Amino acid sequence: MFDYTTLKVIWWLLVGVLLIGFAIMDGHDMGVGTLLPFVGKSDVERRVVINTVAPHWDGNQVWFITGGGAIFAAWPLVYATAFSGFYWAMLAVLWALFFRPVGFDYRSKINNPTWRNTWDWGLFIGGAVPPLIFGVAFGNLLQGVPFQFDDRMVSTYTGSFWALLNPFALLAGVVSTAMITLQGATYLAHRTEGDVQRRAITAVTVMGLLMVVTFIGAGVWLQAIDGYRITSPVVTDTLAAPLDKTVVREAGAWMANYAAVPLLWVLPILGVAGALGAVVLARAGRTLLAFVASSLAIAGVIGTAGASMFPFVMPSSTMLNASLTLWDSVSSHLTLGIMLVVAVIFVPIILIYTSWAYAVMRGKVTAAYIRENQHTVY
């Protein structure tokens, strides 16, 4: 089995992979929900849009649940502190997500325009709100979160919900929303045809360009934000002890990893190039490749955030040495080892099952199909 230090790095990478998997798979479901009221102009067109994701959305939720479970098991201090500080934000995400299962299941049960239109906007909320809040959360992480620990390692959050909605965090929220909506638009462009597909390709163009502009803008802005740096010797092979270090804030600290490892610049470049590639490919009719490019853009954006913050996971703005890193906020060596075995077994199973499900239900969803199967589709 791997040594403790190596396991800590492996789980940092695995959590990143799970977040990317969530953004790619559950992200295109949310992106489709965000676009639903705009790309579908009639009831039949909206049913076309819904039926591109309705058979898969609950399976894709596995990535969300697995990511949250991995954070809970690998980084218990991060999980506990985040749910304390971001409590109302997390509840807002859950409230928004409630619209998805009931929206998919009940939207077409009654043939009433008001009923169906209401659920369409409910699905929009369930698709648009979570990525916005997740982006705002990442924006706050990059600025530092106001929390501290007492002598018993009980965390106290000293900020407020409204303080989370600061300008940089809102910009990060726009990046996240554009990124997820782009993912949904490329998926829609691949799974539909006719007017719905044309509107989806227009959405790819708008969201792709919006993502690039805001992502670059956030990167430029980040250079003016004081980052975090550990100044004391870093101990990587001990149990959780976040207070046993010295941390300072200084200008340009979030860019230090890029200076030390220039290869990391591949990540932000991938974020920009992937989004622009998705726009070009979608407009050229290469919709599957556009979806792949959009997925690579997601990996680039999330990877950029992780590489910038490394080794920090949740920095504190009010008690600097309480900042949580991948070295000092993790579970035991035994726990990480057992979890790694579980991940090696079950993540491939999830990938195989998901690939099989999409292969079985591949192809275009058309208006004719909806009309011919009025009572057997969503």
pLDDT at 285: 92
Residue 254 lies in a domain: yes
CA distance 291 to 258: 28
The strand pair at 226-230 and 247-251 is best described as antiparallel
CA 130 → CA 181, 303, 323, distances in Å? 12, 19, 25
* Crossing angle between the packed helical segments 4-39 and 113-143, to the nearest 10 degrees: 140
pLDDT at 376: 66
Residue 265: both structure tokens together: 């610049």
Q: What is the tally of structural domains in the chain?
A: 1
- Tell me, what amino acid is at 191? R
pLDDT at 202: 96
CA distance 377 to 50: 9
Task: Output the CA torsion sign for 65, 346, 141, 217.
Answer: negative
Residue 219 lies in a domain: yes
pTM, entire model? 0.93
Q: CA neighbours within 13 Å on the CB side: how many for 314?
A: 26
Tens digit of pLDDT at every position of the chain (378 positions): 789 999 999 999 999 999 999 999 989 999 999 999 999 999 999 999 999 998 888 888 888 888 888 999 999 999 989 888 888 888 999 999 999 989 988 888 888 999 999 999 999 999 999 999 999 999 999 999 999 988 888 888 888 888 889 999 999 999 999 999 999 999 999 999 999 999 999 999 999 999 999 999 999 999 989 999 999 998 888 877 888 899 999 988 999 999 999 999 999 999 999 999 999 999 999 999 999 999 999 999 999 999 999 999 999 999 999 999 999 989 999 999 999 999 999 889 888 988 898 888 888 888 888 888 776 667
Q: How far is CA 98 from the centre of its chain?
A: 18
CA distance 164 to 91: 14
Domain that holds residue 50: 4-372
- Tell me, what amino acid is at 346? F
CA 29 → CA 25, 123, 182, 257, distances in Å? 7, 10, 11, 33
Residue 377 lies in a domain: no
Residue 330 lies in a domain: yes
pLDDT at 36: 95
Residue 149 per-residue DSSP state:
E
